[in-house]
Each structure stands twice: as C-alpha cells, then as structure tokens.
Structure 1
Amino acid sequence: MATEANAAPGSANDVVLQFIKALNEEDFAAARGHAADDLKFIGVLGERDGAEAYFTDMRRMKLKYDIKRVFSDGDDVCIFYDIDMGGTTIFSCGWYHVVDGKVNSIRVIFDPRPILEAKK
C-alpha cells in the first residue's frame, strides 16, 4: 500500500491503514487491537454492533482489500478499494471514524448486484 508512507504515526489515517493491513494478513488479533469495543459497522448487506460481532464475521469471510485511494480529514478516513469477497471482487468505499486511536465506526457502500447474482 503506497498510501502507508503518507500516514503520520498515530493519526486516524495510520490507525485505519494498520487495521486494513492486519485484516489482509488475517491477523485478527492485531486488527482487533485497532478497533473500539463498541465498533459499529453499517454495510449494504447488514449491520454489526460491537467488535466481537464484526470480527466473528471477518474471521469467517477473510476479505482481502486492494486499496486504490485514501482520503482523510481529522478522525475520518475514506478509502476506495477493491474487496475480494472469495472469488467476487467489488469496488467499494469505506468510511472509517477513529476515536481515541481506535476504529469506532465503519460504513461501507458498494453495488451488491454481483454478490446477489453469484448466490443464485
């Protein structure tokens, strides 16, 4: 991820990029260390309340993120990425909010049609 070099250590940008890197490496303990206990996830196909619910799904899905572009504004980080969802790659946008050095909320948007079509 070329964007890592631009992230100031300890910044929201840095926290989110470390979080994504740990998920890509399936180092869920490290990723969990970057997440708040009350993490809120809102996505196209559902919501998760709490870090444990989120990581239960992440351990099962083992998604891979190919970051295309990162934008940050204070405690908010927006990432455009391709997400490999086990054979189906979806271009997505994730909005991450960091509180006290931990990812506190994630909102992901994408076109779900390729996933829904694959399930038919």
Structure 2
Amino acid sequence: MTTTKAARELAETYFTAWEAGDFDTLRGLLAEDVDFVGALGTASGVEEALAGLKGLGQVLEKIDVQVRVAEGDEVITWFDLHTKVAAATPTVNWMHVDGGKITRIRVTFDPRALLAGFEKQG
C-alpha cells in the first residue's frame, strides 16, 4: 500500500510534468500496464496513455488545480483544464497508485466544448 503522502506527491508530479510537456517524467510515473478511462477515450498500457496525454497536450495551456484529496493509494484532483480550443473545462481525475507508480486513471468532464473546439481547428 502506498502512503497518502507518496500518492499525493506522485499526483502533483504527474500534473506538473503534463503541464510542462515533460513526457519523460510522465513515463517514469506510469506503470507499464496503466489503465486509463476518460471522456475522450481509453488507453491500455504506458504507450497508449502517453499518446493520449501528448495528444491533449498539443492544445493544453494550463492546469489550474482547485483541490487535491488523497487517501492511502487513491488521489482525486479537481482542476480547470485550460486549452487553446475551449474555455476552461472543470475536470476531475482519480488515480490509483501501487508500488510507486500510477496504475489506474479515471477522468471525467463535459467534453462538448473541447470537441467543438477540435472541430473548428479542422
């Protein structure tokens, strides 16, 4: 079992690295068999997860964390996702940490503004 402090620090590093486009650091945080389910898709394994993070990273401007709650090996982060294609999108990310790596990520938000913004980009 991961300590609450370690899980919280891992989540903080994850969001900082993603916002900075530091995918080498992100790779080191994710378990090889990480499982991702979100409003825009799913990913199985570190390569698919990184591809998804890189894809959204192309339009990512800022991650404005509102609150982060950690308990044991579970971390929930509520944040506003700022992108080049849509107004800030309230988003929640729930991750599970095991053995010092992120093994499961669940993300939910209303994707309509982002999808419309992607369509306008062509």
State the TM bucket, normalised to the shorter chain: 0.7 to 0.9
Moved over 6 A (4+): none
CA displacement at 1:28 relative to structure 2: 0.5
Counterpart amino acid of residue 102 in structure 1: K
**What is aligned with 2:36?**
41
**What is aligned with 1:87?**
85
> Percent identity between the aligned chains?
31
Q: What is the TM-score of this pair, normalised by structure 1? A: 0.84
**What is aligned with 2:15?**
20
**What is aligned with 1:102?**
101
Per the alignment, in what secondary structure is the counterpart of residue 87 of structure 1?
Answer: coil
CA distance, structure 1, for counterparts of residue 114 and residue 24 of structure 2 = 28
CA distance, structure 1, for counterparts of residue 109 and residue 54 of structure 2 = 21
Q: What is the TM-score of this pair, normalised by structure 2? A: 0.83
The 5 A counterparts of 1:61-72 are 61-62=56-57, 63=60, 64-72=62-70
> Which ranges of structure 1 fall in alignment gaps of 5 or more residues?
1-6
> RMSD of aligned C-alpha atoms?
1.6
CA displacement at 1:18 relative to structure 2: 0.7
Counterpart amino acid of residue 66 in structure 1: D
> Which ranges of structure 2 fall in alignment gaps of 5 or more residues?
none
Q: Deviations over 1:68-112 (max 9, x none)?
A: 100111100000001123332211000011010111111001111
